[in-house]
Structure 1
Amino acid sequence: MARSARTDKGASQTLKAVIGIRDLVFSGTVAPGERLSEINVSAKLGLSRTPVRAALARLEQEGILEAIPSGGYSVRLFSIGDVADAIEIRGVLEGTAARLAAERGATPTKINALKALVARLDDVVETGVNDIDLDGYMSLNAEFHEMLTELSGSRIIQRELERVLHLPFASPSAFLEAQMSVPAFRTSLIVGQAQHRAIAHAIEMREGSRAEAVAREHARLARINLDRVMKDKSLIDRVPGLVLVTG
């Protein structure tokens, strides 16, 4: 039992280190190309070197950091193409998840839970995009995408999507805060919610091809919003992680 407790504590410290390093990187506190060492990061986060070492290795696997041959890691710089590719991969994976959910069939209980979630999203959006509860919408939006992945019944897809979503600009909620500042963005929330309804309906009707097509189109909204953000530098700070992107 004592060994298990130590293992749990170690995992907790590693997770704390991962979150802390992500915050340093995504906030721009650590600049792209800047070197990260175990000693410096440990001092910044107030953690021992063991969990920091594990966290740095994990973030390298996620693609956020790059190993330096002489030792340590550097913060990776992404191109617009990298971001577009990450969004595209999310669309492919979520499209596949939606198709599998439809083709394999979900239980009535799960379908009802999905429809109830879409209804809650409808309630938030129907308040009017100018008065929308952004935090509430982001939470429900994330829940919808998580449920979609779970309904696929594929642990492989769930794992690969989790990996892609560790890149902040690939997240379904990546551009939502920026959206609230621009009328065209706010309008895209309405389009996105219509797509949520269409995906849920296609899964319920077991229409795999339709579910996949709409889910992939849904991810493309993020690509459209990416292009808008990159044209207005004042919005970049509103999207976590875009400080790592070069035009």
Structure 2
Amino acid sequence: MSPVLPTLASEPAEAGGSQAVKAQLRLREMILAGDLPGGSRIAELAIVERLGVSRTPIRAALMRLEQEGLLEALPNGGYAVKTFSERDVSEAIELRGTIEGLSARLAAERGAAPLLLGEANACLAQIDALLAEPALSDDDFSRYVALNEKFHALLGEMSGSAVIARELERVAGLPFASVSGFVVVQANSPKARDMFIVAQHQHRQVLDAIEHREGSRAEALMREHSRIAQQNMRAAVHGPYLHQVPGVRLIRKRS
């Protein structure tokens, strides 16, 4: 049975835009949790009744989720929950790796700000401390995810390019393409810590390349780094972790 979601009508009256954002967040949760299965048509009236808001913010939320790529517009009107092939997801991850690689190369060639380099080194030192433990607790794993996301965000800032920053934000918003999109697959894997150590070594090498102004090396390392996400995606789709990764049921397995 799906969990009962609190209605937005029970909250203080707010601007329509705020209601649309909240409806968008609730609908995204429902899609990724499987409450709205892949391929199913969205019944607008049912969503209105379930969330307890008017049609206007629901329609705005549906439009935004289509822009995010989680919904697709139907020819005769309305929306359906989108599904994705493994190739779709693989290409989204590859695109993120390509843009992150370009960002790392520009950071190396232009010279990254010392403050950002210091923050990145401090972030990696915190990850080192986590990985010094023989095993990761649930809290340690959550901490790793947060630090991993912070490090990637700092790398994105180092290029000093507003264009690159916008593209990184856009590609990270594609379904399953964020830096932690499939990291959860590693949580209960016997080889989780080993994989994190490999990823951390790559983090160190990328930062070293940026600090030594080695643009081509930084770009190649960042492209290689995205292969870990590809491995995790395949493990999520074909392994025993379907219930752990939000939205993974939206990915169609290769026949």
TM superposition score normalised by structure 2: 0.87
> Is the 1:32–1:76 contact (alpha carbons within 8 Å) kept by the matching residues of 2?
yes
The secondary structure found in structure 2 opposite 1:213 is: helix
Task: Identify the residue that residue 25 of structure 1 maps to in structure 2.
Answer: 31
Answer yes or no: is 1:61 the counterpart of 2:61: no
Q: Take 1:46 and 1:126, find their aligned partners in 2: how far apart are those partners?
A: 48
Answer yes or no: is 1:95 the counterpart of 2:116: no
> Is the 1:97–1:157 contact (alpha carbons within 8 Å) kept by the matching residues of 2?
yes
Task: Identify the residue that residue 177 of structure 1 maps to in structure 2.
Answer: 184
> Is the 2:70–2:81 contact (alpha carbons within 8 Å) kept by the matching residues of 1?
yes
Q: CA RMSD in A?
A: 1.8
Q: Give 1:1-247 correspondences, 5 Å limit.
A: 9-131=15-137, 133-232=140-239, 234-247=240-253
Output the amino acid matched with 2:235: R
Q: Take 2:207 and 2:189, find their aligned partners in 1: how far apart are those partners?
A: 28
> Is the 1:168–1:240 contact (alpha carbons within 8 Å) kept by the matching residues of 2?
no
Q: Take 1:176 and 1:229, find their aligned partners in 2: how far apart are those partners?
A: 10
Q: Take 2:75 and 2:154, find their aligned partners in 1: how far apart are those partners?
A: 41
Distance 1:66 1:198, change over 3 A: same
> Is the 2:131–2:193 contact (alpha carbons within 8 Å) kept by the matching residues of 1?
no
Shift of 1:168: 4.4
> Is the 1:42–1:49 contact (alpha carbons within 8 Å) kept by the matching residues of 2?
yes
Distance 1:114 1:10, change over 3 A: farther
> Is the 2:113–2:158 contact (alpha carbons within 8 Å) kept by the matching residues of 1?
no
Task: Return 5+ residue gaps in structure 1 as ranges.
Answer: 1-7
The secondary structure found in structure 2 opposite 1:237 is: coil
Q: Take 1:22 and 1:162, find their aligned partners in 2: how far apart are those partners?
A: 18
**Which 10-residue stretch deviates more, 207-216 or 168-177?**
168-177
Output the amino acid matched with 1:21: L
**Which 10-residue stretch deviates more, 20-29 or 156-165?**
156-165
Q: Take 1:52 and 1:59, find their aligned partners in 2: how far apart are those partners?
A: 10
Distance 1:162 1:44, change over 3 A: farther
The secondary structure found in structure 2 opposite 1:74 is: strand
Shift of 1:17: 2.0
Moved over 3 A (4+): 8-11, 129-132
Task: Return 5+ residue gaps in structure 2 as ranges.
Answer: 1-13
Shift of 1:184: 2.9
Distance 1:11 1:124, change over 3 A: farther
The secondary structure found in structure 2 opposite 1:172 is: coil
Q: Take 2:185 and 2:71, find their aligned partners in 1: how far apart are those partners?
A: 25
Distance 1:129 1:9, change over 3 A: farther
Q: Take 2:226 and 2:96, find their aligned partners in 1: how far apart are those partners?
A: 7
Q: Take 1:194 and 1:246, find their aligned partners in 2: how far apart are those partners?
A: 32
Q: Take 2:134 and 2:175, find their aligned partners in 1: how far apart are those partners?
A: 27
Distance 1:137 1:78, change over 3 A: same
TM superposition score normalised by structure 1: 0.89
